Amino acid sequence: MTETVTKNFVIDFDSTFTSVEALDVLGAISLKNHPEKEARLKKIADVTDLAMGGNLSFRESLEQRLSVLNAKKEHIPLLIDELEKLVSKSFKRNKKFLEEHADQVYILSNGFKEFIYPIVKKYGIKEENVHANTFVMDNEGNIIGFDKTNVLSQSKGKPALIESLKLEGEIHVIGDGYNDYEIRKEGKANRFYAFTENVSREEVVKNADHVAPSLDEILYHNKMEGALSYPKNRIKVLLLENIHEKGVKIVEEEGYQVEIYPAGIDENELCEKIKDVSIIGIRSKTQLTKKVLDHANRLMAVGAFCIGTNQIDLAECTKRGIAVFNAPFSNTRSVVELAISEMILLIRNLPDKIAAMHQGKWNKSANNSFEIRNKKLGIIGYGNIGKQLSVLAEALGMNVYYYDLDEKLALGNATKCKSLKELLSKVDVISLHVDGRKTNKNIIGKKEFGYMKDGVIFMNLSRGHVVDIQELKKNIESGKIAGTSVDVFPEEPLSNAHEFVSELRGLPNVILTPHIGGSTLEAQENIAEFVPTKIIDYINTGTTTNSVNFPNLTLPILHDAHRFIHMHHNQPGVLAKITNTLAKHDINVLGQYLKTNDTVGYVITDISKNYSKEAIADLKKIEGTIRFRVLY
């Protein structure tokens, strides 16, 4: 039989249990109306930093800080109120762990018991396990010093105190300061965790046995059950292509490790970078090919921070149990506004007129300038963008015609065309809004240009490969097409530093834009909020709402239960095998959810917490299993 060793957790208070230095907060309270408030607060913070980095003796720092604080007894309840709100997030999250392990949890602080104990007792921590300094006050309640006989007010006080406790078992110290590391340095602890959730000090991190960005990490490292099945700081996120800062902030605040990159990266580089990444965020440029996915050993989710997902090998993602999310509506309006503006510019021949003006040519004339009112607009692809364009164009007085592969409801007075040929031969302005599926390659080529009316306006804001560029060029040069706008190209530069190469450069009445249909700040902000929220929900609860490749399931939040997430190839008998395995291991099912699509099945089982490791092993072994994970 293996003997389990008792683990004692010795936790620092300031900037560890709480996210701040208590004396800084006390200073903000006690110096509220003091004329030297700012200078004194700065002095307190500077002195704290010097001491925490090991560059000033603790006693000296304490004396200096108390002397400028001007604090009184009556400030202490106010300080407690403030600090209660500032308990570190991962300590708040793991309250249950602290309560359940109250005998092994100690607070060891050079701060003051008068405010520490009232806060930590709410987390089940015992008074006798709280070791800290105590204030000395005068008769009027002014804080005039501290108990100098307390070992914690002396240099190397923490190791000395730990020694005096004569704890049985291992001692694991958790803290952000050099004085916490000193316990380990003096040989009084088995491990020192540099706690970096609130502050990271080079000198401390450098000496740590383990750097812990959260309490979850420490519990996971010790194989102890905390609030989370997996520490968020272990989840690496790679965000490419200049994703809006709001998106970066959301994933950072979730506690993930985030790396950002301003542009797209090529396949080989991506193969390297993606190896230990759990979540990748891309836009339209980054190609997530089978080769890249072959290197993605840990990938759980892909966020397409755009509408199109043709740059992602969705089938391969599904096969590997990687959920893909996009932002299906967040930039729709931006594309439509650009399309409207461009058709007005083109029908009035403005690109050439504007260019001429810049060369000093004044060409005032109504020749080849028309209104869009009463013109026929042909929309190819009547999806979200196509429909939105239909509504706005009609409001401007256009007669709308559309063609879509699928049956679509005609909005307003729009007229459905039975074939692409019918649409192309009827309309004055053509706007392409099909999706980027592979079979849409060159759907507009020689034959299709041949169906179009002379003097037509042609616009592509969908995907580059859907138009045969050589044929487009010929038809512009021949004058058949009177005006063109192209926002998307078969080959696009990887970043703003690369040259844009295209045969369309320099042609008359042609607007070329650098794939910016969806590039408005409003759209980018909406996308940056939408996509991470879906991914975080998926990671935390298994919810797949809005996933483009997984069956969509919206799941309840887990309360006091564990969740088994089983993803498998859609083949007969898997659900029965899951049920049998659960029964075989006597597992109490609290709820079950199932959804399948053509290729995969997604089964969620919420269960009581008691189950064996063998049950998990058996569930993973079920034939057809793609991915299995446990959440709590």
Ligand X SMILES: O=C(O)[C@H](O)COP(=O)(O)O
33 is written with which tokens? 């109306």
User: Considering only residues 129, 198, 519, 581, which one is a binding residue for ligand X as defined by CB under 6 A?
Assistant: 519
- Compute the least distance from the CB of residue 519 to ligand X, in Å: 5
- Compute the least distance from the CB of residue 387 to ligand X, in Å: 16
User: Considering only residues 65, 234, 353, 515, which one is a binding residue for ligand X as defined by CB under 6 A?
Assistant: 515
Residues 103-132 that bind ligand X (CB under 6 A): none
Could you tell me the end-to-end alpha-carbon distance of the chain, in angstroms, rounded to an integer? 29
User: Considering only residues 22, 162, 380, 469, which one is a binding residue for ligand NAD as defined by CB under 6 A?
Assistant: 380
- Compute the least distance from the CB of residue 334 to ligand X, in Å: 9
The answer to whether 488 contacts ligand NAD (rule: CB under 6 A) is: yes
Q: Give the residue with the Cβ less far from ligand NAD, 202 or 598.
A: 598
User: Considering only residues 226, 518, 532, 542, which one is a binding residue for ligand X as defined by CB under 6 A?
Assistant: 518
Q: Which stretch binds ligand NAD (CB under 6 A): 211-219, 270-278, 330-338, 344-352?
A: 330-338
Q: Give the residue with the Cβ less far from ligand NAD, 317 or 385.
A: 385
- Compute the least distance from the CB of residue 285 to ligand X, in Å: 6
In this structure, which long-range contacts are made by residues 519-523, counting pairs with CB atoms below 8 Å and at least 24 apart in sequence?
A: 519/331, 519/334, 520/331, 520/334, 520/337, 521/244, 522/333, 522/334, 523/330, 523/331, 523/333, 523/334
522 is written with which tokens? 């409003």
CB 40 within 8 A of CB 30: no
Token match 């607070």: residue?
Answer: 107
CB 562 within 8 A of CB 596: no
Q: Which stretch binds ligand NAD (CB under 6 A): 103-111, 376-384, 549-557, 603-611?
A: 376-384
- Compute the least distance from the CB of residue 518 to ligand X, in Å: 4
Task: Give the C-alpha distances (Å, rounded to integers) separating 335 from 307, 347, 387, 392.
Answer: 11, 18, 12, 12
Map residues 226-265 to x or -, x wherever contact with ligand X holds by CB under 6 A.
----------------------------------------
Provide the pairing of β-strand 170-175 with 191-195.
parallel
CB 143 within 8 A of CB 73: yes
The answer to whether 342 contacts ligand NAD (rule: CB under 6 A) is: no
Please identify every residue annotated as catalytic.
Answer: 463, 492, 515
Q: Is the dihedral of CA 218, 221, 227, 232 positive or negative?
A: positive
User: Considering only residues 288, 385, 565, 619, which one is a binding residue for ligand NAD as defined by CB under 6 A?
Assistant: 385
7 is written with which tokens? 């683990």
Residues sharing a CB contact under 8 Å with residue 249, sequence separation 6 or more, in sequence order: none
The answer to whether 40 contacts ligand NAD (rule: CB under 6 A) is: no
- Compute the least distance from the CB of residue 406 to ligand NAD, in Å: 4
Q: Could you say which of ligand X, ligand NAD, none residue 485 binds, taking C-beta under 5 to 8 angstroms by partner kind?
A: none
CB 536 within 8 A of CB 577: no
Helix boundaries (H) for 1-85: 22-30, 37-52, 58-69, 75-85
* Order of all β-strands in the sheet with 279-282: 257-260, 236-239, 279-282, 301-304, 323-325
The answer to whether 507 contacts ligand NAD (rule: CB under 6 A) is: no
The answer to whether 283 contacts ligand X (rule: CB under 6 A) is: yes
User: Considering only residues 157, 264, 321, 383, which one is a binding residue for ligand NAD as defined by CB under 6 A?
Assistant: 383
Residues 431-460 that bind ligand NAD (CB under 6 A): 433-436, 440, 443
3-state secondary structure string, 90-106?
A: HHHHCHHHHHHCHHHEE
Backbone angles phi, psi at 577, to 5 degrees: -65, -35
- Compute the least distance from the CB of residue 524 to ligand X, in Å: 8
Residues 512-571 that bind ligand NAD (CB under 6 A): 515, 517-518
The answer to whether 382 contacts ligand NAD (rule: CB under 6 A) is: yes
User: Considering only residues 8, 284, 384, 475, which one is a binding residue for ligand X as defined by CB under 6 A?
Assistant: 284
Backbone angles phi, psi at 354, to 5 degrees: -65, -45
- Other CB atoms within 10 A of residue 431 CB: 29
Which residues bind to ligand X, rule: CB under 6 A? 283-285, 306-308, 331, 515, 518-519
Which residues bind to ligand NAD, rule: CB under 6 A? 307-308, 331-332, 335, 380-386, 403-406, 433-436, 440, 443, 461-463, 487-488, 515, 517-518
